[in-house]
Structure 1
Amino acid sequence: MPSRSVDAATWDAALLRLLEDVYTFARCGPRLHEDWAEDVLAVMERTVADPRGWSARDPETFEAGREAGFPSYPFRAMAAEDLRAGLRPVTAGAAVELLASLAQEWFFEGSPVRSREDRDAVLADARTVLDRFGTDAAFWTSSDLARDCAAPDFLARDLEGGHPFTDHMMDLGLLAVSADEVGVFWSFNAN
């Protein structure tokens, strides 16, 4: 059963505060398959709608790629096994830090999350966004920081990509997977 602790207005406000100033993709979709990777691909391809009707972040700049015949743009076309192969599991705490880190720019960040005066508020917004998926959610990332550890300190270091899922020079993703929903949160080095 989906988390009831977060309502639409609270989630939408937290998502907007967190990701409004950066180049990100943030969409959710239903769990319709036994394999969660199939559900994530459906979100990336935009073939499913948010089951709750809540807001998303999907920059208009991606429309040109979709109109050119690439429905998953900016993501590369891939199979579920390709997606799973490029991801690593992370703990819920690390997922909150990673999502908070996506609120900063890739390069020349004047105030990375770790040193912001509003650090606690940014982390609270990230926690609110991920609370939607409940306490039993699993989290996955494309970050190389999770290569050797499921709980890397994402706030201690600058954004670092990993397995590329797009044609951007750098991209970094976080997936949230619950029994009922999936969330795709992705940051790009363009702003």
Structure 2
Amino acid sequence: MNQIDDVSWERSLRSLFGEAMFAAVGPRQSDDWRLDALDVMQLKMDDPRGWLRLAKAPGGRDYGAGSESPFIAVTPADFDSVFPVSRTGAEQVMVTLMSEWFQVEDIPHFSVREVELISHARVILERFGRDALFFTNATTARENPHADMFRREGAYEGFTGHVIDCGVIAVSATEVGIFWGFTID
């Protein structure tokens, strides 16, 4: 794995994600990663490295902490609806968050851009190290954490009040990252 820094992190976040995207990281402070993930989702924690956080609502406005978070109603029990996914699968899900319906068919010029987009997802997830665990709410991972997430069915366990939402949770010994996309209609 390559060492990443704030510049490569920001470049990859901005290359993959735009409007209606949530990308935030917080420190691991609890033995139960779900509690830390919940704090990150509700924007109660700052990035421990001071790196860029993207928290954009559909329409482009910034999400704020607390009641402004799309995850305000999430509880620790809701994490029973996420499924382990391989690092490769997590990278693939991250790429699909670019499209409104989280499918590669909706990403312009995907066949030409696939390698570049996967590279950006890989940079983002490298932050969490080799021993990181990854989870997604894409139900394809329920049966097979090593499934090709580019060819998955479009079914998700929702975490927000949006029509559809999909994402990746990255968990390391020191940090938790939340990377989520939203479809509003």
Band the TM-score falls in, shorter-chain normalisation? 0.7 to 0.9
Structure 2 unpaired stretches of 5+: none
CA drift at 1:137? 0.2
CA drift at 1:164? 1.2
Residue type at the aligned position of 2:12: A
Residue type at the aligned position of 2:135: W
1:177 partnered with 2:171: yes
Partner of 1:14: 12
| C-alpha contact (below 8 Å) 1:100/1:113 kept by paired residues | no
| C-alpha contact (below 8 Å) 1:100/1:123 kept by paired residues | yes
| C-alpha contact (below 8 Å) 2:21/2:182 kept by paired residues | yes
Q: Counterparts of 1:4 and 1:153 in 2: how far apart (Å)?
A: 24
SS in 1 for 2:143: coil
CA drift at 1:117? 0.7
CA drift at 1:17? 0.5
SS in 2 for 1:163: coil
Partner of 1:70: 67
Question: What is the aligned length?
Answer: 182
Q: CA RMSD in A?
A: 2.5
1:152 partnered with 2:152: no
Q: Counterparts of 1:55 and 1:142 in 2: how far apart (Å)?
A: 24
Structure 1 unpaired stretches of 5+: none
Q: What percent of counterpart residues are identical?
A: 33
Q: Counterparts of 1:94 and 1:84 in 2: how far apart (Å)?
A: 18
Instruction: Return closer, same or farther for 1:107/1:95 CA change in 2, 3 Å cut-off.
Output: closer
1:164 partnered with 2:132: no
Instruction: Return closer, same or farther for 1:15/1:107 CA change in 2, 3 Å cut-off.
Output: closer
State how 1:135-146 maps to structure 2 within 5 Å. Answer: 135-146=130-141
TM-score (norm 1): 0.85
State how 1:34-183 maps to structure 2 within 5 Å. Answer: 34-59=31-56, 61=61, 63=63, 70-71=67-68, 73-80=69-76, 82-106=77-101, 111-112=106-107, 115-157=110-152, 160-183=154-177
Deviations 1:29-49 (A, max 9, x none): 000000000000010111110
TM-score (norm 2): 0.88
| C-alpha contact (below 8 Å) 2:96/2:102 kept by paired residues | no
Partner of 1:24: 21
Q: Counterparts of 2:98 and 2:137 in 1: how far apart (Å)?
A: 17
